């Protein structure tokens, strides 16, 4: 199976696409643009680490990269909450993106748990 067929990879790509649409309409001040850069960097890191880990197939290395992807998803969550706190962008859209990102996080967590169980056998 190709990594692009993984549902959590596809979900991470959807998150990036929607984040890109949202942040390009944000104010052009230093604070907004720095938060936008951090969100976009962390969001693209999710899919990149899923792809890299999948290229190493199953095993501890794959789990390692999925955990990095999970950390990046957590970072996206942090930066989106920061944007809400500073009232940057639409809180309705940001809350939707947080939920979409949470779906990716949950799938990553479930996959990591499943792979760990297989490792123990």
Statement: residue 120 has pLDDT above 70: no
Statement: residue 121 has pLDDT above 60: no
| Domain covering 3-116 in this structure, CATH number | 1.20.1440.60
pLDDT digits (tens, 9 = 90+) for 3-50: 999 999 999 999 999 999 999 999 999 999 999 999 999 999 999 999
Are 104 and 12 within 8 A, CB to CB?
A: yes
**Nearest to residue 13, comparing CAs of 49, 38, 65, 37?**
49
Q: What pLDDT is stored for residue 15 in this prediction?
A: 97
Q: What pLDDT is stored for residue 11 in this prediction?
A: 96
pLDDT digits (tens, 9 = 90+) for 24-34: 999 999 999 99
Are 51 and 10 within 8 A, CB to CB?
A: no
Distance CA 71, CA 83 (A): 18
Distance CA 6, CA 34 (A): 31
| Every domain of the chain and the residues it spans | 3-116
């Amino acid at each position: 199976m190709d990594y692009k067929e993984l549902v959590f990879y596809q979900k991470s790509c959807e998150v990036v696409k929607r984040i890109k649409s949202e942040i390009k309409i944000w104010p052009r001040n230093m604070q907004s643009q720095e938060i936008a850069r951090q969100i976009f960097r962390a969001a693209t890191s999710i899919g990149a680490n899923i792809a890299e880990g999948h290229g190493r197939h199953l095993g501890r290395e794959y789990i390692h990269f999925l955990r990095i992807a999970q950390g990046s998803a957590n970072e996206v969550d942090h930066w989106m909450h920061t944007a809400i706190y500073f009232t940057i962008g639409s809180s309705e859209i940001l809350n939707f993106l947080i939920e979409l990102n949470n779906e990716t996080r949950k799938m990553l967590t479930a996959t990591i748990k499943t792979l760990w169980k297989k490792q123990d056998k």
